[in-house]
Amino acid sequence: MSGRLAIIAGRGALPAALAAALPEPPVVAAIEGFAPDGIAPDLTFALERLMPALQALRGMGVGRVVLAGAVTRPRLDPARFDPATAQVVPRLLPALAGGDDATLRAVIGLIEEEGFAVLGVADVAPGLIASEGVLGARGPTAAELADAARGAAILAALGPADVGQGCAVAGGLCLGVETIYGTDAMLRFVARHRADLDPAKGGVFVKRAKPGQEMRADLPAIGPMTVAAAGVAGLTGICLGAGRVIVLDRAATVAAADAAGIALWAGA
């Protein structure tokens, strides 16, 4: 695979963390309306002008692309489409109806057809990915392991519906499932309602890629704020899918878990 590496960046801390983990500075192409945190883009483009943006990247010597950062589905303006991008829209519409993973597969296919190699975060920065084992100061209890297994089963059942990548389980009961609103919204919901539940404390936040997910985009990720939100929700464990979840600011994330007494581990 030759040529410079470009990050097509969405919102959040991942694009900057990814750039910092690379041996050479990448080209950063930010999607309009979804500016990444902590990194200045070399190029900003509207989704309605995807094809000219890819041409611009090629002109900058880019041959490899990584998708990183959060992008929610925007309302596209037909008046802004250039002719080349307008031609591929009919191919994208069925994918948009099929869910996030289907949409990402279609976008990756278009990028590849333009001659770029599309890589995943694990391909270019494996140190950002959680490997199997205990990440923090303590391992999970038997009860936490049981809740993690229950959570994994719930997410596996929801996978074909392309719903979400996380859930919270306590005492075998599902307290919440991540949907399009994301992890933070789910953990806030659990925090608001824990007092009405039995058990009112304990349980595990499970974060995993969807079964069969396209692993070159939309990998689940956690960071220090995730740990803090899990603690507010009364959870005592966080279980990640080994080899399939990004840990942002690992040192701070592990330190936050240790300070809160939260078991943080990655399992199969």
**Structure confidence by residue, pLDDT tens digits, 225-259:** 999 999 999 999 999 999 999 999 999 999 999 99
* Token pair 């990655």: residue: 266
The reported pLDDT for the residue numbered 65 is: 97
* Distances, alpha carbon 91 to alpha carbons 49, 57, 72, 88, in Å: 15, 22, 19, 5
**Matching CATH number, 4-124, of 3.40.140.10, 3.40.390.30, 3.40.50.20, 3.40.47.10:** 3.40.50.20
pLDDT for the residue 98: 62
Domain residue limits, the chain: 4-124, 129-267
The answer to whether residues 109 and 88 touch, using CB atoms and an 8 Å cutoff, is no
- pLDDT at 99 (0 to 100): 64
Average pLDDT estimate for 91-105: 73
Q: How confident is the model at residue 214 (pLDDT cuts 50, 70, 90)?
A: confident
pLDDT single digits (tens) 158-191: 988 888 899 999 999 999 999 988 999 999 999 9
Q: Do residues 7 and 18 touch, judged by C-beta distance below 8 A?
A: yes
| Separation between Cα atoms, residue 186 and residue 179, nearest integer Å | 8
Per the CB < 8 A criterion, the answer to whether 204 and 237 are in contact is: yes
2: pLDDT strictly greater than 70: yes
- According to the model, what pLDDT value does residue 125 have? 96
Query: 38-70: per-residue pLDDT in tens?
Result: 999 999 999 899 999 999 999 999 999 999 998
Question: For the chain, what percent of residues have pLDDT higher than 70?
Answer: 97
More confident residue, 198 or 107: 107
What's the whole-model pTM score?
Answer: 0.89
Class in CATH terms, 129-267:
alpha beta
Cβ neighbours of residue 36 closer than 8 Å, sequence gap 6 or more: 9, 10, 11, 12, 13, 14, 15, 16, 28, 30, 69
Residue 78, pLDDT score: 85
Residue type, 136: G
